[in-house]
Amino acid sequence: MAEPAHPYLTACPVGCKAGLTPTALVLPEGALQRCAECGQLLSRIGEDAYWQSMRQFDQREFNRPSPRELERRFKVARRRLDTISALLNKPPASLRVLDVGCSRGNFLAAGAKLGFYMEGVEPAAGIAAAARADGLKVHTGMLADAGFPAASFDAVTLFEVIEHLKEPLPLLRECHRVLKPGGLLVLSTGNTASWTVVAMQERWDYFHIAKDGGHISFYNPRSVALLAARAGFAAGRIETSRVKFHEKGEIARWRYVAGKLAAELLNLPARLTGRGHDMLAFLRRA
Ligand SMILES: [Zn+2]
């Protein structure tokens, strides 16, 4: 694919004024650009190709996990909700949690099961309707469309959303507005300052819009902290986890398994040094 003459992203999504320089990470649509101030990496995909790749999120078959995958997600959700409850020092029954970009509502269902009050917002109309049909409280549209009163939630979660956005700051400021003072914004995204990127470079699926639809903006712990500060959040806790060296099917199975074992051994050191490729940030509303 030739480089688009007009990439969708022309400035750092974190809100920096610094220039962008091409990196050695070359994707089909061109080399990723790096913000000189925060290290954010930006895709050179054109606007049409971006919107086309975002359409998958409203397809009837999108995001239907197997029972085993559902069980795994429930454990992840429980760990995150336990941390929210611990950081806010309140029991689940007294906490109102809003999940922005809730898809089919797996996280909402997990929270409800654990005794939290859960609400969701999802722009993909078909998926939002499917979540409501499962008995979940889900609003179709963007967060701003829901028109929540100020200070109406104890925690807002934003899982795997910001890497899709050209301008995440208005969304984070709206999260800030609907949060109670002292409330938490919990967000997850990939980490480009990870050993996974050191090892895999541009082979990491996360960079590929054809494999991970709509990914255009790639964060590191520093750029997440800057974004949070610019949206009015106090410095929070940023955790990273997991490392990998190969994508499944990329190489012979025995090499994949060997690489996976090595990656398991590096999980703990990656966690301790902030070099895992999954990033989870707990940000406090002042
Ligand atoms: Zn930047």
Residue range 6-11: mean pLDDT, rounded? 94
Mean per-residue pLDDT over the chain, rounded: 91
Band (59; pLDDT cuts 50, 70, 90): low
Instruction: Return the SS3 of 114.
Output: coil
CA–centroid distance, residue 262 to ligand 1 (Å): 33
Most confident of 64-73, 228-237, 239-248: 228-237
pLDDT score of 263 = 77
CA–centroid distance, residue 138 to ligand 1 (Å): 33
**pLDDT greater than 60 at residue 257:** yes
CA–centroid distance, residue 223 to ligand 1 (Å): 6
Instruction: Return the SS3 of 63.
Output: coil
pLDDT higher at 184 or 60: 184
pLDDT higher at 85 or 266: 85
Specify the residue for token string 């009050």.
Answer: 117
Query: Residue 145: CB partners within 8 Å, gap ≥ 6?
Result: 139
Residue range 83-110: mean pLDDT, rounded? 97
pLDDT score of 4 = 53
**pLDDT greater than 90 at residue 60:** no
pLDDT digits (tens, 9 = 90+) for 272-284: 788 999 999 999 9
Q: Which of 37-46, 74-83, 237-246, 258-267 has the lowest mean pLDDT?
A: 258-267
pLDDT digits (tens, 9 = 90+) for 11-45: 999 999 999 999 999 999 999 999 999 999 999 99
pLDDT score of 247 = 82
pLDDT score of 64 = 74
CA dist., res. 222 & res. 182, Å (int) = 22
Residue range 192-204: mean pLDDT, rounded? 94
CA–centroid distance, residue 236 to ligand 1 (Å): 19
Band (1; pLDDT cuts 50, 70, 90): very low
CA–centroid distance, residue 182 to ligand 1 (Å): 27
Residue range 181-208: mean pLDDT, rounded? 95
CA–centroid distance, residue 17 to ligand 1 (Å): 7
Instruction: Return the SS3 of 51.
Output: helix
Work out the percent of the chain whose per-residue pLDDT is above 90: 76
Residue range 99-112: mean pLDDT, rounded? 96
CA dist., res. 222 & res. 164, Å (int) = 18
pTM above 0.95, yes or no: no
Residue range 211-227: mean pLDDT, rounded? 93
CA–centroid distance, residue 38 to ligand 1 (Å): 4
Residue range 150-161: mean pLDDT, rounded? 97
Which token pair is 259? 């690489």
| Phi, psi of 12, deg, nearest 5 | -65, 125
Can you list the positions of beta strands (E) in 160-269? Answer: 179-190, 217-218, 233-241
pLDDT score of 58 = 66
Residue range 42-69: mean pLDDT, rounded? 82
pLDDT score of 5 = 64
CA–centroid distance, residue 80 to ligand 1 (Å): 28
Residue range 128-155: mean pLDDT, rounded? 97
pLDDT higher at 22 or 209: 22
